[in-house]
Amino acid sequence: MTDSLARILCILIVVSFTTAGPVKAEEISLPAVEMATQEGGLWDRWTDAIVAFQRRANAEVARHMNAIDSGKSLGALFLGLAIAFVYGVFHAFGPGHGKFIIVSYFLGRDAQIGRGVVMAIQVAIVHVIAAIAIVWLADITLRAGFGIGLAEVPGVRAASFLIIAAIGLYMLYQAFRAALGYIDPSEVGHGHSHAQEGHAQDHGHAHHEEHGHSHAHSHGHGHNENHGHAHAHGHGQASEASKVESGLMAVAAGIVPCPGAVLIMLYAVANDMIYPGFLLVAAMSLGIGLTICSLGVGAILARQTALRLVEGGGTGSSGALVVRHGFNFGGAIIVTLIGLVSFVAFLDVPLG
C-alpha cells in the first residue's frame, strides 16, 4: 500500500516537473486581449455607429428571412421590413446610390420640393427594378465574379454614366443660355421661356412671398384656371420636359443597383423566398430613397435659402443673379464631371 502510494507520488512529481518546464513554441497561450477604445471625434463615432448598425441590421434581415421561411410569417415579415427600411436609410449615407448626383442636380436648377421627393421615389423604384432584373439575369451576375463585379453588368453602368454626363451637359447648355440672356436664369431646369411671355412679373412676386421662390411655384399650380388654355398648355409642355429630364436623372442614378440589395435578392431566390425577398428589397430601397429624398430636398432648400439671403443681403437682384448663375454652372459642371469621370474610370482609361 505504502509502495503503491510512493509510486503514484513519484509519477505525479515527474509529470508535474516535465509539464512545468519552459514554455515550448508549440504550446498555445491565450493572452488577454485588450480592446482599444475609440478615440476619434464625434464624426468617427457617428460613422462607426452607422457601420455597426448596418452590420447588425444585415444579420437581422437574414434572421427574419429565415424566420419567414420557417413559418413565422407575418410578424417576422413586418419586423424584417422595418429593419430593411432602416437599413436602407443608413446604408444610403455611404458612397454611391446617386446622392451626390441628385444634390448637384438640384443645386443647379430651380425646383419644387415635391420634385425632390418624386425623384427620390423614382430612384428607389429604379433601384428595386434593377436589383430584381440583375437577379433574373443571374447568369451574368454570377459570371461577373465576386465583389464589386456584382453590379458590373456591362453596358448598364456605362449607359448610366453617359446619361448623367448628357444631362450635365444639357444643364451646362442651359446655364450658358441663361448667362447670355437667352432665357431667365430662374428658368434653368424648366425648359421654357415663361418670363419672356410677360407672366413672370405678374405672378412671381406673389409666389415669392408665399414660397420664397418665384419660379418653382409657377409650375403645376392652377395656371389652367388663371391663364386659360393656351398658356396652360405651354406650361404643361415645359413641365413634361422637366419631368422627363429629372426622370432620366433618377433612372441614371438608380439603375446600378446596390450590391447589398442584389445579395438579399439572390439569397431570397436561393431559398425560395422570392416574394418576401422582393418586399425586403423594396423596403430597403424605400429607405435609400428617403435618405436621397432628404438630400435632394435639402439641396433645393439650400439653393432657395442662399438666393433669398443674397437678395435680402443688400446686394439686390444683381447679387442674387450672380449666385443663381453660380449655382446653375456649379451644379451643371459637377453633374457633367461625375458622369464623365465615372465613364472614363469605367473604361479604365488613365486621366493623366
Partner 1 sequence: MLRKFLIPAFLALVASPPVLANPDVWVTTNWHVQMAGHSVTGLTLDWTFDAFASSYLFTTFDADGDGTVTNQEAQAKEDELFAPIAEQDWYLTILGDGAPVSWHLQHVEPVFEPDHFGLKLTVSFDGLQAPFAASLHDDVLFFDFSFAGDDFLTVEGPVDPACRFVAGPGEGALEGHTSTITLRCGDPS
List of residues contacting partner 1 (CB under 8 A):
23, 25-40, 43, 47-48, 50-51, 54-55, 58-59, 62, 66, 91-97, 103, 142, 145-150, 258-260, 263-264, 266-267, 270-271, 294-295, 297-299, 301-302, 305
Element (H, E) at 119: helix 113-136
C-alpha 260/C-alpha 58 separation (Å) is 9
**Length of the chain as a residue count:** 352
Nearest residue (CB) to partner 1, 166 versus 269:
269
For 8, phi then psi, to 5°, come to -60, -40
Q: What CA–CA distance (Å, rounded) separates 93 from 91? A: 5
Name which of 28 and 230 has its Cβ closer to partner 1. Answer: 28
Nearer to partner 1, 212 or 234 (CB): 212
Alpha-carbon span 179 to 165, nearest angstrom: 21
**Residue 148 DSSP class:** G
Place of cell 451576375: 141
Distances (CA, A) of 177 to 80, 162, 186, 188, 214: 50, 22, 11, 9, 19
Q: Please, is 175 exposed, middle or buried when counting C-beta atoms within 10 Å of its C-beta (0-12, 13-18, 19+)?
A: buried
- CA distance from start to end of the chain: 91
Residue 94 or 319: which CB sits closer to partner 1? 94
Q: Are 48 and 90 in contact (CB under 8 A)?
A: no
Residue 118: CB atoms within 10 A of its CB come to 18
Shortest approach of partner 1 to residue 58 CB, angstroms?
Answer: 5
CA-to-CA dists, residue 306 to 181, 300, 319, angstroms: 22, 10, 11
Nearer to partner 1, 46 or 275 (CB): 46
Nearest to 103 by CA among 312, 234, 296, 318: 296
| CB nearer to partner 1: pick between 172 and 295 | 295
CB of 88 to partner 1, least distance (A): 10
User: How near is the Cβ of 47 to partner 1 at its closest, in Å?
Assistant: 6
Question: Of 296, 325, 324, which Cα lies nearest the Cα of 115?
Answer: 296
Minimum distance from CB of 344 to partner 1 (Å)? 17
In the complex with partner 1, the residue whose CB is nearer, 57 or 171, is 57
**Nearest distance from C-beta of residue 264 to partner 1, angstroms:** 6
- In the complex, the smallest distance separating the C-beta of residue 148 from partner 1, rounded to whole angstroms, is 6
Least separation in angstroms between CB 102 and partner 1:
11
Q: How far is the CB of 83 from partner 1 (least distance, A)?
A: 14
C-beta closer to partner 1: residue 69 or 247: 69
